[in-house]
Amino acid sequence: MINNEKMFIKKVMKKTVIGITVVGKDREGIVATFTNFVFSQSGNIEKVNQNVIKGLFGMYLEASFTNKIDVNNFDSEIQKLAKKEKMDVNTHHETNTEKNIAVFVTKESLCLETILTAANKKSLKGNISVIIATEKTLEPLAKKSKIPFIIIEEKNQEKAEAEIIEVCKKYNVDLIALARYMKILTPNFVWRYPNRIINIHPSLLPAFAGALAYAQAYERGTKIIGVTSHYVTENLDQGPIIFQDSFDVNPNDSLEEIKVKGQRLEAATLLKAIKMHLENKLEVRWRKVHIKSK
């Protein structure tokens, strides 16, 4: 029997989370300027990470809002502040819509082919919006999939990254996948996409760091060889590890046979990491990647 007493239902307010990256010339007071801005918008600081390298300042703020917030107005106001402070500021909003993916490549095809196959089979919860390359070798794959293919020919890395940043802004990129991209990204770029750049490395990090990992493993006569997918940080091959896998090595295997085995595993492990990220199943805490239970 239902009585006339009032029933009170406690509503749990869903948080709106906004990631904010700030990059520019280091100077005093810049941290307080942007944290105070968040507080002025009735926000709470969930995470803050800052770095300074050779006078370059980079900061990532994750702000949450329990009250309804006009995201467009927030973005507009923080850009006004960015202009005043002469800092490059970007905001990132996690949504349930498909994320835009940029795939960075050089000339090795298998990782890109594996990602494109997954996209064609609709098994990626994201849209490959652009492929960015250092040369034209893989352009036919992009044309076949009808995906924009942008070649960055600039040899100076800082100038090249300035071009890449504009391309990423144009295509509203949420996630960057390094599919055997043979360039080292600078802090100026990496800090703009915290925990949103995934790389694949041909070894079980932190061992055999660098470009000749398979040759090192071959020369040392290792019995297993592994691959590591990880988020990219300003420190080469030192970012939070997402997944690792390995394969057995027969003493009679040639270096080429090892490479073939390794490249197949690279592609599979990179794709697994990308899928998990797109499904919001990964969380970085204290430099470790945790897989969410729900």
pLDDT tens, residue by residue, 177-201: 999 999 999 999 999 999 999 999 9
| Cis peptide upstream of residue 206 (ω within 30 degrees of 0) | yes
Which range among 5-14, 56-65, 152-161, 183-192 shows the weakest confidence by mean pLDDT?
5-14
Provide the whole-model pTM.
0.85
Tokens 């430099």 sit on residue: 287
Distance of CA 47 to the CA centre of its chain: 17
The mean pLDDT value for 79-84 works out to 96
Please, where are the H alpha helices in the chain?
30-40, 71-85, 110-120, 139-145, 157-170, 187-190, 213-220, 255-278
Using alpha carbons, select from 184, 218, 189, 158 the residue that is nearest to residue 88: 189
- Backbone CA torsion sign across 125, 61, 104, 225: negative
Q: Hey, what domains does the chain have and what are their CATH numbers? A: 16-93 (3.30.70.260), 101-291 (3.40.50.170)
- 21, 235, 271 from 243: Cα distances, Å: 26, 18, 10
The mean pLDDT value for 219-229 works out to 85
Q: Catalytic site residues?
A: 237
Q: Quote the tokens at residue 271.
A: 């794709």
DSSP state of 179: S
pLDDT of residue 12: 43
